[in-house]
Each structure stands twice: as C-alpha cells, then as structure tokens.
Structure 1
C-alpha cells in the first residue's frame, strides 16, 4: 500500500467496536461490547508532482500534513 515519502504514514489496522446498553451516567447498568470487527485506518495521501533537490519532477505519495506544513514544493 502507499506510504508517505515524508512522514512515513500509511495504513494501520484497528477495530470497529459495537456497544450495547445504557450508560451508567444515563441511569443504566453500563455499556457492553457485543462485537469488535477488524478494519483499516487509511492515511490521507495525495499523489503529487514534486520537485526534488536536483530540480527533477517526480510523482510521489505525500500526506496532507506534509503538504500543509510546506515540507514539499509542488512542481
């Protein structure tokens, strides 16, 4: 999968947790986890034309954080 050339961000795995019941603060007996399904958290990556140190133009995957921070110069 794609990975940011500047920050190293990529896809990480996690879980989607489903809860059932009424919270104790609402007067219930508490929440109970009924299922935990695997899922993926994908980084916000953009395929950008970038000028490198030599002045050549390349297309690389870059996270939006790197673009906003000014770590890359668009061609």
Structure 2
C-alpha cells in the first residue's frame, strides 16, 4: 500500500514537473525529421526526409527566486524563460495578481 501511494505521488509530481507556473506552457507534441541530400541549388536532386520520429517539445523551464516588494518576501516560481520576459515587461506584481485570479497559489 505504501509503495502504491509513493508511486502515485511520484507519478503525479512527474506529470506536473514540466509545466510553467506562469504561462501554463506544457509539452507539445510534434515530429523530428531526419533530412538527407543535396539541395537543388547546389546541383543535387533535392532534400529527402529519411526519418520521421514522434517526440515531445519541452518548455524551457527555470526555477527563479524573485523579490516581491509588495509583500516584502521572496517568491519562488517555476517559469518558462518566455515568462521571465513577460515579468520584465509588465512587472512581478501584475503577473502574481493574474496568477491569483486564475486560482494558483503563490
């Protein structure tokens, strides 16, 4: 029973670990293509797709500890690097207000 609960906890943590706290970015599905050949511009016959593999594109996440001046404390957020740019543009207080409006705990 204890092992089952541990596996349940670990698996639930793994599912959530690649999500951005700020923008709700998730892994996206797509394909990775293997391309061979010489382009026609260089007197070849063109490019040929020799392999197509399914893969997941993971968001670029970082854990950041940011100073939140409104509450005089540090806030640790798991953000995508794109979200860091958003924080630079609109400010941390605006981002945290939006997160709390969505029901996320900060």
TM-score bucket of the superposed structures, by smaller chain = 0.5 to 0.7
Correspondence 1:41 to 2:81: no
The structure with the largest helix share of the pair is: 2
Structure 2 spans left out of the alignment, 5+ residues: 1-16, 94-106
Which of 76, 80, 86 pairs up with 1:69? 86
Whole-angstrom CA distance in 2 between matches of 1:2 and 1:41: 10
**Which structure exhibits the higher relative contact order, with contacts defined as CA atoms closer than 8 Å and separated by 6 or more residues?**
1
Q: Report the equivalent of 1:18.
A: 34
Would the alpha carbon gap of residues 63 and 72 (structure 1) be closer, same or farther in structure 2, given more than 3 Å must change?
farther
Q: Report the equivalent of 2:11.
A: none
Q: TM-score, normalised by structure 1?
A: 0.68
Q: TM-score, normalised by structure 2?
A: 0.52
The structure with the largest strand share of the pair is: 1
Q: Is the 8 A contact 1:19 1:33 kept in 2?
A: yes
Whole-angstrom CA distance in 2 between matches of 1:40 and 1:60: 23
List structure 1 runs of 4+ shifted beyond 2 angstroms.
47-52, 55-61
